[in-house]
Amino acid sequence: MSSTAKLTATLAALVFGATALAGCTATTARQAADPSEKPAASQAPEPTAVEPEVEADVPEQYVNVGPGTSIPVGGPGECESSAYIWIGSTGNEPMHVEQGGADLVDMGPLDFANGEVSLDDQGRPATYTVAPGDVLTRIGERFCIYNGNALGLLNGYSHGAVIQPGDVLTLNADLVTDWVDPYADE
């Protein structure tokens, strides 16, 4: 199987899994103790609402976030809208990454997403330092990323490689100018 076919199959599985879990929510111990209490957010700008692009084949209550990709309107957890990490190619261009959807917003530490955040010069989340016990999907939820598992591919992890405490992850795909397909050599 070619590397492009493997990556396409992997991405399809991730999108299917994320879609299946889109309506699920988890209750943290803090939420159970005081549901009115919200996590503290870093000094990031307010989320930008995503205006749905009008396309004939995008179902109602979905928004187009990139080439051939639509996700439900809204966002995970307390997020008003979602960012999306698009990994792929169109036409004859090489595989690459793009950030789609809304701007990243730090919703504050969550269970399994307690690492430190570094901001860019405009105050937006740029990198994340992994803390013990962190999980990609929860890191994605913390930053309103619809497909948080894609953070692994965005940062060069492949074949089920596990993030480790101290790893520094780039959060915004548009900041990655030298992305290399981790499956290209297969």
| pLDDT of residue 5 exceeding 80 | no
| pLDDT of residue 162 exceeding 60 | yes
CA distance 59 to 81: 17
Residue with tokens 């396409």: 8
CA distance 63 to 72: 6
pLDDT band for 133, please (50, 70, 90 cuts).
very high
CA distance 40 to 161: 30
Per-residue pLDDT tens over the stretch 70-108: 888 888 888 999 999 998 888 888 888 999 999 999 999
Q: Pick 75 or 120 by higher pLDDT.
A: 120
Residue with tokens 């953070």: 151
Q: Pick 71 or 17 by higher pLDDT.
A: 71
| Residue ranges per structural domain of the chain | 3-23+39-175
pLDDT band for 37, please (50, 70, 90 cuts).
very low
CA distance 58 to 68: 9
| pLDDT of residue 168 exceeding 90 | yes
- Beta carbons within 10 angstroms of residue 108's beta carbon: 15
H helices, E strands: number in the chain: 4, 7
What's the predicted TM-score (pTM) here?
0.67
Identify the H or E element spanning 57.
Answer: none
Mean pLDDT of 33-41: 45
Class of residue 20 by CB neighbours under 10 A (exposed 0-12, middle 13-18, buried 19+): exposed
Q: Parallel, antiparallel, or unpaired for β 69-72 and 116-119?
A: unpaired
